[in-house]
């Protein structure tokens, strides 16, 4: 047991050893390697996605009921930020929900639009895409009742794999997580189990369709962050796999890279932030595509500017804020109806915060 703990600690230390220091000159050199054509194509695609989805993200919340959030955090935030004016409170609620909605929406768009634009120089048929095996599993669920779909998903083989591509004699399979803190303990166990249980099936099915394939890489990808800023859950997946048929390939030269103990044809590792996008740009030699994260940021900046200009989102947002402000302003208690100790001890601001907190406990009438 002691040796295992020491080994795990050394394993974690090796994974956390990579350090990113910001240097304007280094970033300038990376920017110089970005491709204008790719950036424009990516930004056009993401702008199209945003134009189709941003209005829905804003419009789908029609009443105060749709802006419910954690009442305990809400009251604490309102007090600390002095949110006693309906308009300010409305802006806080709206921005909070808009951020969360965009985070979910962008997670999907990153997979479908940005990741799908690579690898660099690959023809469309060889770019990152949802594995056909996963698509087939999904189609098999069509027409089933919700309960039956849930049962079938529990035995899914490809559920944890988001995208794949073929390069040379290897197939690359990746599970995409948005950021450094989005993997929880439940997901750690699910991903560990999926890889331990299905890695041989993933390889065998790949080999059947592509006889020239000699191995597969299974990658846990985080779209932003650094090795030092994650919650360590992606590393826990790797450590757990050491007890389920995997071993380290070479801690000194390839820290964090595991291979299956039986054949050595399956590799498992993680890629984070800059390295993630370098891997997306060139799975075989990620360092040759280390600038891809900048292409993505440039494309997003251009796409968002295009979307705002075209869709008039500002007017749409202001309308929502007016509606929300009016709804919040109606949340009030007649002071005469309250016990004397509340009338005497609680200010108007405190009663206002109390009323907003109540929205989390009712379905109608708010």
Over its C-alpha atoms, the chain yields an Rg (Å, rounded) of 25
Quickly count helices (H) and strands (E) in the chain: 14, 6
Whole-number Cα distances in Å, 249 to 6, 242, 246, 264 = 18, 11, 9, 9
Predicted local distance difference test score (pLDDT) of residue 302: 87
Question: Which of 60-69, 114-123, 321-330 is predicted least confidently?
Answer: 60-69
The answer on pLDDT for 366 being more than 70 is: no
Which comes out higher in pLDDT, residue 171 or 364? Answer: 171
Q: What's the mean pLDDT in 135-148?
A: 85
Question: Which of 201-210, 249-258, 297-306 is predicted least confidently?
Answer: 297-306
Predicted local distance difference test score (pLDDT) of residue 178: 85
CA angle 242, 182, 10 (to 5 degrees): 35
Dihedral of alpha carbons 193, 195, 200, 201, sign: positive
Work out the pLDDT band at 308, boundaries 50, 70, 90: low
Work out the pLDDT band at 318, boundaries 50, 70, 90: confident
Distance CA 229, CA 226 (A): 5
Q: What's the mean pLDDT in 307-312?
A: 55
Instruction: Give, rounded to a whole angstrom, the gap between the first and last alpha carbons of the chain.
Output: 56
Q: Hey, what's the torsion of the CAs at 123, 126, 130, 135, to 10 degrees?
A: 110
Contact 164, 174 (CB under 8 A): yes
Distance CA 108, CA 273 (A): 17
- The mean predicted confidence, pLDDT, of the chain is 84
CA angle 343, 344, 350 (to 5 degrees): 65
Contact 323, 48 (CB under 8 A): no
Which comes out higher in pLDDT, residue 61 or 131? Answer: 131
Distance CA 96, CA 61 (A): 13
Q: What's the mean pLDDT in 261-283?
A: 96
Question: Which of 50-59, 240-249, 277-286, 352-361 is predicted least confidently?
Answer: 50-59
Distance CA 93, CA 95 (A): 6
Work out the pLDDT band at 7, boundaries 50, 70, 90: low
Return all residues near 100 (Cβ < 8 A) that are at least 6 apart. Answer: none
Distance CA 175, CA 236 (A): 15
Predicted local distance difference test score (pLDDT) of residue 28: 92
Alpha-helical regions (H) of 125-245: 132-139, 146-153, 185-209, 233-241
Predicted local distance difference test score (pLDDT) of residue 104: 65
- Residue 261: how many CB atoms within 10 A of its CB? 12
The answer on pLDDT for 238 being more than 70 is: yes
Domains and CATH numbers, the chain: 33-120+287-366 (1.10.3250.10), 127-281 (3.40.1560)
Predicted local distance difference test score (pLDDT) of residue 274: 95
The answer on pLDDT for 205 being more than 60 is: yes
Dihedral of alpha carbons 308, 309, 315, 318, sign: positive
Work out the pLDDT band at 89, boundaries 50, 70, 90: confident
Predicted local distance difference test score (pLDDT) of residue 330: 74
Work out the pLDDT band at 217, boundaries 50, 70, 90: very high
Percentage of residues in the chain having pLDDT higher than 70:
86
Predicted local distance difference test score (pLDDT) of residue 182: 87
Work out the pLDDT band at 33, boundaries 50, 70, 90: very high
Per-residue DSSP letter, 264: S
Predicted local distance difference test score (pLDDT) of residue 300: 85
Predicted local distance difference test score (pLDDT) of residue 2: 32
């Amino acid at each position: 047991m002691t040796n295992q703990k020491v080994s795990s600690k050394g394993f974690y230390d090796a994974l956390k050893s990579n350090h990113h220091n910001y240097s304007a000159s280094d970033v300038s050199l990376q920017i110089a390697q970005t491709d204008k054509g790719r950036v424009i194509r990516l930004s056009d695609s993401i702008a199209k996605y945003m134009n189709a989805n941003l209005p829905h993200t804003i419009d789908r919340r029609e009443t105060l009921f749709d802006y419910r959030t954690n009442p305990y955090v809400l009251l604490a935030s309102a007090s600390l930020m002095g949110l006693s004016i309906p308009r300010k409170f409305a802006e806080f609620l709206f921005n909070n929900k808009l951020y969360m909605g965009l985070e979910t929406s962008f997670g999907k768009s990153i997979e479908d639009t940005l990741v799908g634009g690579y690898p660099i120089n690959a023809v469309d048929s060889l770019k990152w895409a949802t594995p056909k095996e996963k698509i087939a599993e999904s189609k098999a669920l069509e027409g089933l009742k919700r309960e039956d779909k849930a049962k079938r998903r529990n035995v899914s083989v490809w559920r944890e794999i988001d995208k794949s591509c073929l390069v040379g004699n290897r197939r690359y399979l990746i599970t995409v997580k948005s950021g450094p803190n989005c993997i929880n303990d439940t997901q750690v166990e699910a991903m560990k189990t999926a890889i331990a249980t299905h890695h041989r099936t993933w390889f065998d099915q790949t080999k059947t369709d592509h006889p020239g394939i000699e191995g597969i890489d299974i990658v846990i990808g985080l779209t932003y962050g650094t090795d030092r800023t994650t919650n360590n859950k992606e590393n826990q997946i790797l450590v757990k796999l050491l007890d389920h048929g995997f071993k380290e390939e070479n801690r000194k030269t390839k820290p964090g890279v595991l291979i299956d103990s039986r054949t050595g044809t399956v590799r498992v590792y993680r890629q984070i932030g800059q390295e993630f996008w370098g891997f997306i740009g060139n799975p075989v030699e990620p360092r040759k595509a280390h600038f891809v994260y900048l292409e993505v940021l440039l494309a997003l900046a251009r796409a968002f500017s295009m979307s705002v200009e075209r869709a008039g989102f500002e007017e749409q947002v202001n309308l929502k804020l007016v509606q929300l402000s009016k709804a919040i302003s109606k949340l009030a208690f007649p002071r005469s109806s309250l016990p004397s100790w509340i009338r005497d001890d609680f200010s108007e601001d405190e009663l206002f915060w109390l009323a907003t907190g109540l929205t989390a406990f009712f379905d109608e009438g708010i």
